[in-house]
Structure 1
Amino acid sequence: MGTAIKYAFIAVLAALTFCVQTSPSSASSLLWQVKSNHPNILEIEFYSDTRRGHSWPGNNEIYLLDDYSTKTVNISCHHGELICYGAWVRNRTGIYWGIGFKYSQSCSDCCYTCNGGHTKLIILNP
């Protein structure tokens, strides 16, 4: 292979690598910080608003908020994806925060963009 062709091939590979690394669907993460002040155990799940049907932890699992400490949950998501939280009192889905159980409600401030950063501290009060 001639030198000019080698350099052209390397330039094309570099450009493709850059495009793959910066695409909107590339891997990223979002660190959630949540604290419950509720006297009962709460359950929380995170839902993709971008990829409907995708949730964390997924597989019919949930995260528990069973004391008054701040919990952190780091989720892997697509860069730029909108992620919303839904929390509810265990076995009582009618008492909820954010988008509630199984994305059944709406909210004005419960979603964050997946960008490698973290959320503000979310405090769930009774």
Structure 2
Amino acid sequence: MAYLSRLRAAGAAVLLVSFAASSAFAADVTFVMQNDHPNAVEVELYSQDRNHVWPGNGEVFYLDDGEVKEIPLSCIEGEKICYGAWVSGDQGTYWGTGPDNAENCSDCCYTCTGGQTEQITLVE
């Protein structure tokens, strides 16, 4: 009986350590985006450190003209995340890394450290 009790305690300890280790590396960040373009804009957020896109599954964040949207996401602490935005229906007019994370940018990436970004304004 004592053996079983020690085995359960050891298993519980392993689970607790695993949970603590995985949650220690998780963070939440909120991208604050404003669309100052006269047309609606679509946005995706791209990890530069792993193969991950927010919102994912072929979906996009949609901002009407003039809209400010807070986009919360869970990420890995220290992960580099870049935004790609484009005019809805016109992927040739874009900001940041553009559609599919295909372009280079100098000021469209943030490090996942919690909190929120400054307001990112997409202008014509």
TM-score relative to the length of structure 2 = 0.81
Alignment of 1:1-126 (within 5 A): 16=17, 20=21, 26-51=25-50, 53-126=51-124
Q: Which amino acid aligns with 1:93?
A: Q
Q: 1:69 deviation in Å?
A: 2.5
Give unpaired runs (5+ residues) of structure 1: 2-8
User: Aligned pairs, how many?
Assistant: 112
Distance across 1 between alignment mates of 2:56 and 2:35:
21
The ranges of structure 1 where at least 4 consecutive aligned residues each deviate by more than 3 angstroms after the TM superposition are 16-19
SS in 1 for 2:37: coil
Give unpaired runs (5+ residues) of structure 2: 3-9
* 8 Å CA contact retained: 2:41, 2:65: no
Q: Which amino acid aligns with 2:21?
A: V
Identical aligned residues as a percent: 44
Distance across 2 between alignment mates of 1:67 and 1:37:
6
